[in-house]
Amino acid sequence: MNDITEKDVKRVWVEKDAICVELKDGRIGKELIRDYEPLKKATREQLKNCRVDLDGVWFDDLDEGLALSGFFSPKKTNPVGRIFWLFPELNAAAFARRLGIPQPLFAAYVNGSKKPSAARRKKINDEFHRIGRELMQV
């Protein structure tokens, strides 16, 4: 994941609360604006005036940059997303179907934009364990 460079990037855009990067392979990563003091203080125009250069997103007006790898690294506070980052062969949409959770909601859990309730976290963890047991029986 640390090998992401500008040649891998399809597009970069600014949402209300995040800077987003889409890679040519379809993965989308987000960094929350609130997590970076210079970005929190920036205007929308300053945030939109960004470019991809080498291995980062650079905000020329702010003299600030964010590493591309950070958009796709596991977040310490997001254990659901971390599992899918560590095991990219897992399919989050199929996992959501197994759980009976709408795929867009589960995607929000994976990317960290929403946090599951304690009961939902338990359901997710139990399903990971169930899959592990099934794999061990193969």
Same domain for 88 and 116, yes or no, is yes
CA distance 34 to 55: 22
Number of domains in the chain: 2
| pLDDT tens column, 56-94 | 999 999 989 999 988 887 665 678 887 887 777 888 889
Angle at 111 between CA 109 and CA 34, to 5 degrees: 110
* 87 HSE (CA, 13 A, CB side): 10
pTM for this entry: 0.57
Q: State percent of the chain over pLDDT 90.
A: 57
Q: Give the model's pLDDT for residue 75.
A: 67
Domain of residue 57, CATH code? 3.30.2020.40
Answer yes or no: do 96 and 125 share one domain.
yes
Q: Which two three-digit tokens encode residue 68? A: 């591309």
